[in-house]
């Protein structure tokens, strides 16, 4: 499989403190990689530093076959779409216009057509003309997901895309991201729900103190030892008809 995103020896500081020290990370096209870890572990820092949004003190970043530094902003946008954790929007633009901001490489009419199709895909076609600040948080999250999908990028990076959503919207969001992976995109998501992460991701990376402490297939990455050591949970992932589910209690 082709690597969509590769990080080597990535280190970053914030406020004089080392917040990230990642030896290596590679995301292939066609896979969904989940980044999990407790609050403050460095999940968002990993994404931000890996996309060049947080200044790094060391390390290489590759998007596909090109180093990040060699890419123009347009070329970078053609290789990666990013959904930040912060869903605050400044103005109440119509949803279709917000979604079309993912496709600024296209003429405005075409960008709007792409946006409408993506809104339909996320089940928000009926919201196309509504102002985003008049929507509920869940509806707005769908619009922003449509914006991410409108980028049509081979790597989609989403920071907490299901935070604050109802169960149906959570599953819909992860299903849609899986479909994008099925169409050949590499997908990276940070998640807090370990059961959903185990069920919906091909691989998981467990991060603690800015370092990746475990990675691999969900059942391996979230071993009972990691659950105990990193998440302070006594338990394990168990197979159920609905997929993997975390059965655990606090230590």
The residues of the shown chain that bind other proteins, judged by CB under 8 A, are 48, 51, 53, 73-74, 76-78, 80-84, 86, 88-94, 97-98, 101-102, 104-105, 131, 133-134, 144, 147
d(CA 189, CA 203): 11
Beta-sheet pairing, 186-191 with 32-36: parallel
Q: What's the closest the beta carbon of residue 122 comes to other proteins, in angstroms?
A: 16
8 Å CB contact between 180 and 211: no
8 Å CB contact between 203 and 181: no
Q: What's the closest the beta carbon of residue 80 comes to other proteins, in angstroms?
A: 7
Task: Write down the residue that tokens 């004089």 correspond to.
Answer: 16
Q: What's the closest the beta carbon of residue 234 comes to other proteins, in angstroms?
A: 37
Residue whose CB is less far from other proteins, 93 or 213: 93
Residue whose CB is less far from other proteins, 72 or 249: 72
Exposure letters 65-76 (e unless 16+ CB within 10 A, then b): eeebeebeeeeb
Instruction: Show the tokens assigned to 49.
Output: 């530093």
Q: What's the closest the beta carbon of residue 242 comes to other proteins, in angstroms?
A: 33
Residue whose CB is less far from other proteins, 165 or 237: 165
Residue whose CB is less far from other proteins, 1 or 104: 104
Task: Write down the residue that tokens 């403190």 correspond to.
Answer: 17
Residue whose CB is less far from other proteins, 94 or 161: 94
d(CA 12, CA 48): 10
Q: What's the closest the beta carbon of residue 178 comes to other proteins, in angstroms?
A: 22
């Amino acid at each position: 499989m082709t690597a969509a995103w590769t990080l080597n020896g990535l280190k970053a500081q914030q406020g004089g403190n080392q917040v990230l020290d990642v030896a290596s990370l590679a995301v292939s096209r066609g896979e969904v990689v989940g980044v999990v870890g407790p609050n403050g572990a460095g999940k968002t820092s990993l994404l931000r530093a890996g996309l060049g949004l947080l200044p790094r003190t060391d390390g290489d970043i590759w998007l596909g076959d090109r180093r990040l530094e060699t890419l123009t902003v347009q070329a970078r946008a053609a290789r990666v779409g990013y959904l930040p954790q912060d869903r605050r929007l400044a103005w109440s633009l119509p949803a279709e216009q917000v979604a079309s901001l993912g496709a600024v490489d296209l003429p405005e009419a075409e960008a709007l057509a792409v946006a409408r199709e993506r809104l339909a895909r996320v089940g928000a076609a009926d919201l196309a003309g509504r102002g985003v600040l008049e929507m509920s948080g869940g509806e707005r999250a769908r619009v922003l997901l449509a914006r991410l999908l409108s980028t049509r990028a081979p790597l989609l990076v989403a920071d907490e895309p299901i935070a604050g959503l109802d169960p149906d919207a959570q599953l819909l969001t992860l299903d849609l991201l899986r479909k994008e992976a099925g169409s050949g995109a590499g997908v990276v998501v940070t998640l807090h729900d370990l059961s959903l992460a185990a069920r919906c991701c091909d691989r998981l990376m467990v991060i603690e103190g800015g370092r990746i402490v475990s990675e691999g297939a969900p059942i391996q990455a979230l071993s009972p030892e990691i659950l105990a050591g990193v998440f302070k949970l006594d338990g394990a992932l168990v197979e159920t008809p609905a997929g993997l589910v975390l059965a655990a209690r606090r230590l």
